[in-house]
Structure 1
Amino acid sequence: MEKKMLKNKYWMGCLRAEADKSGNVDLTVDFPGQLAEPTHLVVMVNGLIGSAQNWRFAAKQMLKKYPQDLVVHCSKRNHSTQTFDGVDVMGERLAEEVRSVIKRYPSLQKISFVGHSLGGLIARYAIGRLYELESREELPQNSDDIGDKCPIEEPKERIAGLEPVYFITSATPHLGSRGHKQVPLFSGSHTLERLATRMSWCLGKTGKHLFLADGDDGKPPLLLRMVSDCRDLKFISALRCFKRRIAYANTSFDHLVGWSTSSIRRHTELPKLQRGPVNEKYPHIVNVEAPVTARNHEEDRSWNNSNGFKNFDMEEEMIRELTKLSWERVDVSFRGTLQRLLAHNTIQVKTKMINSAGADVIQHMIDNFEP
């Protein structure tokens, strides 16, 4: 009954889409005679050669359930061929964009990110730039009762001044696209995988980042650096401060992003799936894993010294560092549907007309989201 009332309330209101001079789109719901004061910003980030339109379906569904609580911002700063500019360049753009959105909504208190494919990596870079550690509250200087000890609050971690809540990725190549069957299109052929690495420049700086081919300047590849904190970019601290981290992954038929890299698992850790969905409400979700934190391994990180990373298992290092954080994993399969060959876009419902099979995956994400 309550759910039905929420839906009715949404349709009584007006879905408003605002675009700024840069083309960025904010979706909110206005109610007649009421001043909208949403408290939670949800930033949706598109993937390679994508646009703000790719998240339109998911954004609308999310606002239907939480019409008064959310601002859903579908980014357009990194669209089309701009997505070839590199994860770092796009991450900087996104960080600047998020700050500008927050300025327009003074009522905001919380922030979450939802990224599809490359968008998940862009968001991971951006939060490293937006990470803040608020200073502790100082003791009052003119206290009459010197003997009384006032509690001092622990420093609070914030993303652009807001409380971080959800970090959600969908078919994101967290471990990159280099070798180890991370790009199913190559069918595990080492020859094709090596050729793709050499040809990664075709996708600009982004291609070099994805195929871990950007370490020529003496530094480790960017994706390897993004599993730890740097001097001015707190990548792992930013990721850790979110209340929940959730990775949606296609188990098959995703020709661009493999199951292992999108779910942050070793190939030997991929689960054996049961037949049929885990819940009839979500017919294409075949496995849900509660968050588990891996043990901390104290091992020699040889890539810190000169070019040692060239002889280093970069994929293993990324898995080890990323899984020191707890992740919820949701495995998706479109087997048996005509849209299975479009799984990479279907998991996002990029275009409702041809990717509608992924609607239950979006609904699962929304049902497990609390504003």
Structure 2
Amino acid sequence: CCLLCAAILICHSFFHQLPFLCGLHFLERRASETAHLIVGRTGKHLFLTDSDDGRRPLLLQMVQDHDDIKFRSGLRSFKRRVAYANANFDHMVGWRTSSIRRQHELPKHRLLVRDEKYPHIVHVDRGIMDRNETEVSANLCGPEEEMIRGLTQLQWERVDVSFQKSSQRLVAHNTIQVKSYWLNSDGADVISHMMDNFLV
């Protein structure tokens, strides 16, 4: 299920918000046309260009239960669903993508407050859903909106992270998960936050 959620978020990012492409449509189009040459079938999935046997792209199928596979029901079976997201400096996955929010739902930067115990945690949203916000966006269309609408049928807690003052900020994508301790050690407080906030 974690892989399912990660795949959907990555797809959501690649399809329309891959930060290092600078939001330039012609770069995004070229990337979608060539991704399969670099990462094979996964590239087609990430850019929603797979349509085997006339089926909808896999990652669009994955935002709901589809045929015999219970994608959303699988996510629903978890007591808590928490998205940790870099608020800045993540060049692979944009903030709204990784936090499963629409642009207007992102916290304002001036509201982001640091936690003394977890210096890189800047905002925690316990997942109280604002139905009015959901209804305002309900008439938007497109695959990106379909994915976010499907995922937000479930309640999510969101933890926003910022490495803005860190010397490791340019590798925030790996630092948030401490991919390599000697390169990404500043993310250790994020991992501590996860451990302290989850019952095992």
Aligned residue in 2 for 1:178: 15
Is the alpha carbon distance of 1:332 and 1:119 closer, same or farther for their aligned partners in structure 2, counting shifts above 3 Å?
Answer: same
On the 8 A contact 2:11/2:47 being kept in 1, the answer is: no
Alignment of 1:1-371 (within 5 A): 120-121=6-7, 172-173=9-10, 175-179=12-16, 182-201=17-36, 202-215=38-51, 217-274=53-110, 277-293=113-129, 295=131, 313-371=142-200
Structure 2 length normalisation: TM-score? 0.88
Partner of 2:14, secondary structure, is coil
Given residue 187 of structure 1, which amino acid in structure 2 is its aligned partner?
Answer: C
Question: What is the identity, as a one-letter code, of the residue corresponding to 1:197?
Answer: S
The total of aligned residue pairs comes to 194
Which secondary structure does the structure 2 equivalent of 1:199 belong to? helix
Structure with higher RCO (Cα < 8 A, 6+ apart): 2
Give the counterpart letter for 2:75 in structure 1.
Answer: L
Q: How well do the aligned residues superpose, as a CA RMSD in angstroms?
A: 2.3
Aligned partners of 1:204, 1:252: CA distance in 2, in Å? 29
Tell me the SS of whatever aligns to 1:274.
helix
Change (3 A) 1:293 1:119: closer
Structure showing the higher strand proportion among its residues: 1
Checking the alignment, whether the CA contact within 8 Å between 1:260 and 1:270 is kept in structure 2 is: yes
Three-state SS of the structure 1 residue aligned to 2:10 is coil
Cα distance change, pair 242–174 in 1 and its aligned pair in 2 (3 A):
farther
Provide closer, same or farther for how the CA distance between residues 212 and 176 of structure 1 changes in structure 2, counting only shifts above 3 A: farther
Structure 2 unaligned blocks of 5 or more: none
Contact 2:14 2:47 (8 Å CA) reproduced? yes
In structure 2, give the amino acid aligned to 1:188. G
CA distance in 1: counterparts of 2:149 and 2:59, whole angstroms? 13
CA distance in 1, matches of 2:41, 2:128: 34
Q: Which is higher, the Rg of structure 1 or of structure 2?
A: 1
Q: Is the 8 A contact 1:274 1:286 kept in 2?
A: no
Contact 2:11 2:48 (C-alpha < 8 Å) held by counterparts: no
| TM-score calculated relative to the size of structure 1 | 0.49
The amino acid across from 1:258 in the alignment is G
Task: Return 5+ residue gaps in structure 1 as ranges.
Answer: 1-112, 125-171, 301-311
Whether the aligned pair in 1 keeps the contact of 2:87 and 2:160 (CA below 8 Å) is yes
